[in-house]
Amino acid sequence: MNTKKYYITTPLYYVNDKPHLGHAYTTLAADVLARHLRSKDIPVLLQTGTDEHGSNIEKIAREKGVAPKAWCDGVSADFRELWKTLNIKYDYFIRTTDPAHEAGVQAVFEKLLKTGDIYLGSYEGLYCSSCEAFYDETELKGKNCPVHGRPVERVSEETYFFKLSKYEAALLEHYAKHPDFLSPRYRAQEIVNFVKSGLKDISVSRTKVAWGVPVKSNPRHTVYVWFDALLNYATGRGYNPDGNSPDFADAWPADVHLVGKEIFRFHGVIWPAMLLALGVALPRKVYAHGWWTVNGDKMSKSKGNFIKAEDVVREFGVDALRYFVFREVTFGQDGDFSMDAFRRRYNADLANDLGNLFSRLMNMAAKYLDHRLPEKPGESEIFRELSSWTPEIHRSVEALRFSDALEKIWQGVSRLNRLVDARKPWELAKTDPETLKLFLHEMVWCLRLIAGWLDPFMPDTASRMHMQLGVGRTSDGTPPQKVPPLFPRMQPENKPNDIRTN
């Protein structure tokens, strides 16, 4: 029997800082996709977790005066807490300090030493300690790291190398044969060009970093954090070259690795080369999304402009945030977060378009529907037409075109609003109560459809709507009730920076 599950991963988040909107974004995307697939009865595995080794974490723990593991325990728990707040349902949370993962990393290292894909040498290069990565002179911005803008250091050390260069041709062949492997396509070319320009072997161990997985046969070295962390996608499912757990076959190959654009190269080049070296099948897709800025600026510690998802949730509710991030920006592109834009969408799309429609109709249903909600969909044209949109909405979610899906759903919401305005049910109440009933029946069914579409994006809202629409209740119908607004209107304040941390 085929028990292969649809396996979705997020990157493992560094625990050197508290979680912010950028981290929440990747995980929310994974959750939307997972919820959608589960609703179609497709078995899903969603794995997320924390990346806990390396010099940055060692350093922050020292600054805070705690042991590295104790520090990791704290921040890793913060991430799990945030996933709870954001209503993210994951199947497995992996930490790179988990003993099974560490054992897997060590076994992989020894295996590749044996095959000759890892060898000992010495390295001199330009290193950014924030990225934990080496850069070529040509990649720098002036003399600084292209990601952090901070000076890089010239470092020389004995190190193990991974023979990345050996996999250049195999990678190019894989990209050519699997055009969706690097997604979205407009981001793929940069990777292809990078590989075509010639791959160099990469350093995969450190002698100066104590907080890492020790190389078993030479514990003066610890494994480079990226080599360690990338392996999570496989070790978390029970992969170990000395003997896999039977669960591995249920998950592998991964269906999609969701990542931010700045770590696309690690996932599109180094990770598949590691798998080729191990003789393990490559994931089906690596999808890179864009970056959020805040009021036009990069989120950064020094600017103190990190958006904390919890703060947004406290003021607007979790579903407003889930809606905004996927509606405002095409998944894949960069986007800007501002409280003005957030409030605008909240009031226009959620409080007005959806919220008002829902409460107007439900309040009328409570008043005029003889205390019963309809059990069978009528033959109404509007219900038939909206139902025919379902495959397109599903396709958009499956292709990670989240904003397209939401746009279409809101087209549906607008259609219903226009219909209510045109049919004037409040007048029908006086002139033609039978027609009013039929109309409200149609509308209840259309709202059930909309609630179903919204479910992966806004699970709380969808379940409130479903409850009030009597979905999943007994077959003898449900008395409609008056409902409180789904999204209470917010005052359009002009305080663009009011939600931030320092």
- Reading the block at residue 15, the tokens are 């625990």
Residue 305: CB minimum distance to ligand MSP, A: 10
Contact 253, 47 (CB under 8 A): no
Contacts of ligand MSP in 70-99 (CB under 6 A): none
| Cβ-proximal residues to 375 (8 Å cutoff; 6+ apart), any chain | 475, 477
Residue 12: CB minimum distance to ligand MSP, A: 5
* Cα separation, 237 vs 106, whole angstroms: 16
Structure-token match 């179609």, residue found: 40
Backbone angles phi, psi at 288, to 5 degrees: -105, 120
* Member of 29, 182, 223, 263 binding ligand MSP (CB under 6 A): 263
Contacts of ligand MSP in 221-260 (CB under 6 A): 229-230, 232, 259-260
Q: Is 298 among the residues known to form the active site?
A: yes
Contact 477, 373 (CB under 8 A): yes
Q: Which is the catalytic residue, given 5, 101, 145, 446?
A: 145
Residue 366: CB minimum distance to ligand MSP, A: 43
Residue 133: CB minimum distance to ligand MSP, A: 10
Contacts of ligand MSP in 327-356 (CB under 6 A): none
Q: Which is the catalytic residue, given 59, 89, 148, 394?
A: 148
In terms of CB distance, is 14 or 181 closer to ligand MSP?
14
* Cα separation, 343 vs 485, whole angstroms: 17
Q: Is 145 among the residues known to form the active site?
A: yes
* Cα separation, 16 vs 14, whole angstroms: 6
Q: 423-450: buried (b, 16+ CB within 10 Å) or exposed (e) per residue?
A: eebeebbeeeeeebbebbbbbbbbbbbb
* Member of 5, 7, 8, 12 binding ligand MSP (CB under 6 A): 12
Query: Other C-beta atoms within 10 Å of 474: how many?
Result: 7
Structure-token match 């030493």, residue found: 113
Residue 74: CB minimum distance to ligand MSP, A: 16
* Member of 292, 324, 402, 445 binding ligand MSP (CB under 6 A): 292
Q: Is 131 among the residues known to form the active site?
A: yes
The piece of 23-31, 197-205, 216-224, 338-346 that touches ligand MSP (CB under 6 A) is 23-31
How many residues sit in the footprint of ligand MSP (CB under 6 A)? 19
Q: Is 221 among the residues known to form the active site?
A: no
In terms of CB distance, is 46 or 382 closer to ligand MSP?
46
In terms of CB distance, is 262 or 392 closer to ligand MSP?
262
- Reading the block at residue 242, the tokens are 């000395």
Taking each helix axis from N to C end, the angle separating 309-316 and 68-85, rounded to the nearest 10 degrees, works out to 30
* Member of 7, 26, 95, 428 binding ligand MSP (CB under 6 A): 26
DSSP 94-124: EETTSHHHHHHHHHHHHHHHHHTSEEEEEEE
Residue 56: CB minimum distance to ligand MSP, A: 10
Q: Which is the catalytic residue, given 298, 303, 367, 482?
A: 298
In terms of CB distance, is 260 or 412 closer to ligand MSP?
260
Residue 377: CB minimum distance to ligand MSP, A: 40
DSSP 395-441: HHHHTT-HHHHHHHHHHHHHHHHHHHHHH-HHHHHHH-HHHHHHHHH
In terms of CB distance, is 286 or 420 closer to ligand MSP?
286
- 262 makes contact with ligand MSP (CB under 6 A): yes
* Member of 5, 7, 8, 22 binding ligand MSP (CB under 6 A): 22
In terms of CB distance, is 215 or 309 closer to ligand MSP?
309
* Member of 5, 23, 95, 343 binding ligand MSP (CB under 6 A): 23
Residue 20: CB minimum distance to ligand MSP, A: 7
Contacts of ligand MSP in 172-211 (CB under 6 A): none
* Member of 199, 299, 362, 458 binding ligand MSP (CB under 6 A): 299
- Reading the block at residue 310, the tokens are 């919890």
Structure-token match 């590691």, residue found: 274
Q: Is 157 exposed, middle or buried (0-12, 13-18, 19+ CB in 10 A)?
A: middle
CA neighbours closer than 13 Å in the CB half-sphere of residue 106: 17
Q: Is 72 among the residues known to form the active site?
A: no
Q: Is 59 among the residues known to form the active site?
A: no
Q: Is 446 among the residues known to form the active site?
A: no
Q: Which residue is nearest to ligand MSP (CB)?
A: 260
Backbone angles phi, psi at 381, to 5 degrees: -65, -40
In terms of CB distance, is 306 or 439 closer to ligand MSP?
306
Q: Which is the catalytic residue, given 131, 257, 267, 437?
A: 131
Nearest to 308 by CA among 490, 36, 86, 68: 86
Q: Is 289 among the residues known to form the active site?
A: no
SS3 235: helix
Q: Which residues bind ligand MSP (CB under 6 A)?
A: 11-14, 22-23, 25-26, 51, 229-230, 232, 259-260, 262-263, 291-292, 299
Q: Could you give the residue numbers annotated as active site?
A: 20, 23, 128, 131, 145, 148, 298, 301
